[in-house]
Structure 1
Amino acid sequence: MNTSSELLLFVVGLLLMLTVMAGSFSSRFGLPALLGFLGLGMLAGADGPGGINFEDHAAAQGVGVLCLVFILFSGGLDTHWKSVRRATVPALVLATVGVLVSAGVVAISAMWLFAFTPLQGFLLGSVIASTDAAAVFAILRSSRLPLRDEVRGLIELESGSNDPMAIFLVGAVLLLIATPDTSVAALVPDFMLQMAVGAGVGYGIGVGMPMLLRRAQLHVGGLALVVSIAVALLGYGLAGLIGGSGFLACYVAGIVAGHREFPDKETVSLFQDGLAWLAQVVMFLTLGLLVYPTELLDVAGPGLAVTAVLMLVARPLSVFLCLAPFRAYGWREKLFVSWAGLRGAVPIVLATFPIVAGVEGAQSIFNIVFFVVLVSSIVQGPTLGWMARRLSLDRPG
């Protein structure tokens, strides 16, 4: 019994260490760290030399949700509200209407390219429609790209707040597949309620955390770190229990708390940043274990086609359409925001939902989504800095 637990802990520690090294190695070549994390997960899986046979999509989904809670909360803490508040309205438009437009364009292309049914096509489009907060936060903050505040704020706010729309769309499509007579119009008020409740819970918890830390006067500094963990979990759990978006609550709570002063703020922020990186490592490693690299070769053609539609048609169309009323963003800014729509862990986590629900063809959708994330990371991630320089967005306006 002892040998078994010791071996398990040794393997977990070794995988975490190797995953960090793989992420650092990929970053040296200008590639997103998530590629190293995913790559090692694939090597450790059943198809790789590691030989770990992991096929529990429900467990992977749970791990992904938990990790995203801390990633979004940390991203909110590190968001400087004064520099991004002017981008709030356009970011919310992109996070809702933009996600819907992208999902629709991908759905139409999937119906035409792969003879998908409308619901299958829209399910694929909904899964990959949102940009990934983990990937965007990691690249923008690790590369220290000197973007203009209005552009950086727009990208960060959108990536942190568009997950609820994607989750809602995926859930709506799965509901329509299970019960075709469901009224689509009846789902709209539910989405509005989720957003409002999630934002309200996040604001309340974000205000309460600094007040608690100021009044509690914790004499042990480590307890403040425990409070920050509890706040992230409470935000997600409370919002979900009363019908709100837990992910939005976590991100809003982080932004609101980060805008206020409280004891040990720098230590809490640094701790949450480290916890967010650990969450990324665990999440991408777990998701990488789910994939069989040999199966990715079978979806290479469809995957490249979907990636091309997403990067060159769906994302630019949604950005230019949603930002048209906002004069602060010219064609250069819109083009860069279009290119900065990286896909990462969120689409992969969402791709496990149809598998858990037992939807026909769900495994193929999962493999296509994973392939799209890999290509997006390889193509878009390393070229963000180059694109910013070409568009003259890497210096103050």
Structure 2
Amino acid sequence: MTLFLLLIAVVVIVCILATRLSSKFGVPTLLIFILLGMVFGSDGLFKISFDDFIISEQICTFALIYIMFYGGFCLNFNSAKPVLIRATIMSTLGVILTCGFVGLFCYWVLHTSLIEGMLIGAVMASTDAASVFSILRMKRLNLKAGIAPLLEMESGSNDPTAYMLTIIILTLLSSGKTNIYTLIFSQIIFGIISGVVIGLLAKNYLDKIQLNEVGLKSIFVAALALLAYALPVALNGNGFLSVYLFGIILGNSRLKKKVSLVHFFDSISHMMQILLFFLLGLLSFPSQIPDIIGSAILITLFLTFVARPLTVFICLTPFRVPFKQQLFISWCGLRGAASIVFAIMTVVSPAYTNNDIFHIVFFVALLSITFQGSLLPLVAKWLKVEDDQNDTMKTFNDYSDDSSFELIRVYLSDDHPWINQTLIDIVMPTNMLVATIIRDNQMILPKGTTRVLKGDLLIMCAPGYEGNDIYLDEEYIEEHHHWIDCTLAMINPRNKFLVVLIKRDNKMIIPDGKTRIKRDDMLVICKKEYLGFVDE
């Protein structure tokens, strides 16, 4: 047991440290995780013998649940709304077309059976959101309006369609008596209903449960994500579709302490990606790759330069998407974790196949992440789809990116001009506010008449928030909230808290005592009881 724990610790530490190489040399992070798994595997340096595909499928499914949930949770629906229809078409019709094109290619060129060719196509029909957006985040690649939301929504939502196609074809191959039409109906209907119902219940009642500990709230949501997957699967529905819809609904809801959920599931998602990609590398046998390398390269070339571009052209041309943008979207069709997980399903399925689908898909994903992923920034520059006026990070529901203000420190030394002045008399830069005064190791929550002294440390708000030293809470102003049309001075006569930011209509307002609260405002509040503030 101790040796096993030691191995886990070493693997996680090495994987995280290896991300430094990713930033330095521009290699996709997920590729490094796979390669490390291969190094530790049966044919690697450490010779860890592991070939249990049944356990691997269960572990990978568990990891994929949280990766897909976080993909939906981070989708900014307001940003994605203009491309909702085209993204939905890409993630449904696009997956079916890709499956068909690849299946026919395998049948005509590689001489597989038609049904087995379609299985290979179904397994590789979805694109990998983790691969694409890890590169966009790492390179801070800002794209023209509409591209990033389309890519995020397509790559996040096409896994359920590919999963459903894989299940259907495996059922046909195993000569099961399941009615295909009933299977399709149950997959879609139970998947949608479960995700929407659990999402709406969580949206409306999560804050009302009043879990005082932030950590308990995160664990509770993690359990709901498992429920969103397991419930439809028990009813023969699509669990991945359900958990993705659950993530979208919850991620676009007004929740208290939502920032803690973002940080928690961001960490969980990274951990699951390390687990998933390392395990896939560990499960592979590089010695078997030469047997399938020819087929895998041909499929990769066809998928990259024929099937994916043709699919994008058919789906997006009716929307008059510029040709260069279509080419870039085509290039972003990276294959990754989901495809390999679905390939594992083919191994554990009772359906008989003549080809080593797992290693074919594994090598295709490896080539895709390596070459397409590494060249993604260059292709964006070549096709001129970059636009510094658009922040790709705004496509994500990450509170720290969206709130756009920072906490800065100002120390009042002996000759500082603010010494002995009240805050109301100090001429400060526009949109700056003193949130806290630290004096003699005690925190003071300031007001306009507060006088600053020599040796004070002022914690100030300025555009661009990224702070952990001060605990911030949120208050959403609903339709009948008693603060509507009140000024901040009116709602806080005893100076029990400080409103440091108001989010209104996607804009950030640094308020003062005269600022009036409106319906649908989100107030970011610094409260005394959380910080142990003292009175002046």
Specify every segment of 5 or more residues in structure 1 that has no aligned partner in the other structure, as ranges. none
Q: Which amino acid aligns with 1:353?
A: M
Higher strand share: 2
In 2, Cα distance between equivalents of 1:38 and 1:24? 16
Q: Is the 8 A contact 1:84 1:149 kept in 2?
A: no
User: Is 1:297 matched up with 2:290?
Assistant: yes
- Within 5 Å, give how 1:167-206 maps onto structure 2: 167-179=163-175, 187-188=180-181, 190-206=183-199
Instruction: Find the counterpart in structure 2 of residue 393 from structure 1.
Output: 385
Instruction: Find the counterpart in structure 1 of residue 38 from structure 2.
Output: 42
1:349 positional shift: 0.6
In 2, Cα distance between equivalents of 1:362 and 1:156? 35
Instruction: Find the counterpart in structure 2 of residue 10 from structure 1.
Output: 6
1:49 positional shift: 1.1
1:363 positional shift: 6.0
In 1, Cα distance between equivalents of 2:115 and 2:253? 44
Instruction: Find the counterpart in structure 1 of residue 206 from structure 2.
Output: 213
Instruction: Find the counterpart in structure 1 of residue 332 from structure 2.
Output: 340
Instruction: Find the counterpart in structure 2 of residue 253 from structure 1.
Output: 246
In 1, Cα distance between equivalents of 2:140 and 2:213? 33
Q: Which amino acid aligns with 1:269?
A: V
Specify every segment of 5 or more residues in structure 2 that has no aligned partner in the other structure, as ranges. 391-536
Q: Which amino acid aligns with 1:228?
A: V
1:362 positional shift: 6.0
Q: Is the 8 A contact 2:174 2:350 kept in 1?
A: no
TM-score normalised by L of structure 2: 0.70
1:391 positional shift: 2.1
Instruction: Find the counterpart in structure 2 of residue 52 from structure 1.
Output: 48
1:139 positional shift: 2.5
In 2, Cα distance between equivalents of 1:88 and 1:195? 18
Q: Is the 8 A contact 1:355 1:363 kept in 2?
A: no
Q: Which moved more, 1:196-205 or 1:165-174?
A: 196-205
Q: Is the 8 A contact 1:123 1:173 kept in 2?
A: yes
Point out the structure with max Rg over C-alpha.
2
Q: Which amino acid aligns with 2:385?
A: L
Instruction: Find the counterpart in structure 1 of residue 24 from structure 2.
Output: 28
Q: Which amino acid aligns with 1:340?
A: C
Residue number among 370, 375, 379 corresponding to 1:378 in the alignment? 370
Secondary structure of the corresponding residue to residue 49 of structure 1? coil
Q: Which amino acid aligns with 2:61?
A: V
In 1, Cα distance between equivalents of 2:355 and 2:271? 27
User: Is 1:101 matched up with 2:97?
Assistant: yes
In 1, Cα distance between equivalents of 2:167 and 2:149? 28
- Within 5 Å, give how 1:208-247 maps onto structure 2: 208-247=201-240
Root-mean-square deviation over aligned CA pairs: 1.9
Q: Which moved more, 1:194-203 or 1:74-83?
A: 194-203
Q: Which amino acid aligns with 1:14?
A: V
In 2, Cα distance between equivalents of 1:307 and 1:333? 21
User: Is 1:113 matched up with 2:103?
Assistant: no
In 2, Cα distance between equivalents of 1:192 and 1:101? 20
In 2, Cα distance between equivalents of 1:138 and 1:14? 23
1:134 positional shift: 2.3
1:206/1:144 CA distance change after superposition, 3 Å: farther
Q: Is the 8 A contact 2:188 2:237 kept in 1?
A: yes
1:80 positional shift: 1.0
In 2, Cα distance between equivalents of 1:270 and 1:217? 20
1:367/1:202 CA distance change after superposition, 3 Å: same
1:242 positional shift: 2.8
1:256/1:124 CA distance change after superposition, 3 Å: same
Instruction: Find the counterpart in structure 1 of residue 438 from structure 2.
Output: none
Cα distance per residue 1:322-373 (max 9 Å; x no partner): 112212x121221111110111011111111121124444662111111100
Q: Is the 8 A contact 1:75 1:137 kept in 2?
A: no
Q: Is the 8 A contact 2:28 2:370 kept in 1?
A: yes
Residue number among 79, 83, 89 corresponding to 1:83 in the alignment? 79
Secondary structure of the corresponding residue to residue 34 of structure 2? helix
Q: Which amino acid aligns with 2:288?
A: E
Q: Which moved more, 1:238-247 or 1:69-78?
A: 238-247
1:123 positional shift: 1.1
Instruction: Find the counterpart in structure 1 of residue 469 from structure 2.
Output: none
Q: Is the 8 A contact 1:147 1:393 kept in 2?
A: yes
In 1, Cα distance between equivalents of 2:33 and 2:242? 27
1:386 positional shift: 1.9
Cα distance per residue 1:233-257 (max 9 Å; x no partner): 1111122223322111111111111
Q: Which moved more, 1:189-198 or 1:277-286?
A: 189-198
Higher helix share: 1
1:363/1:53 CA distance change after superposition, 3 Å: farther
In 1, Cα distance between equivalents of 2:139 and 2:190? 35
Residue number among 120, 126, 130 corresponding to 2:126 in the alignment? 130
Q: Is the 8 A contact 2:72 2:244 kept in 1?
A: yes
Larger RCO (alpha carbons 8 Å, 6+ apart): 1
* Identical pairs, percent: 36
Cα distance per residue 1:18-55 (max 9 Å; x no partner): 12223442343212111110000000001011111100
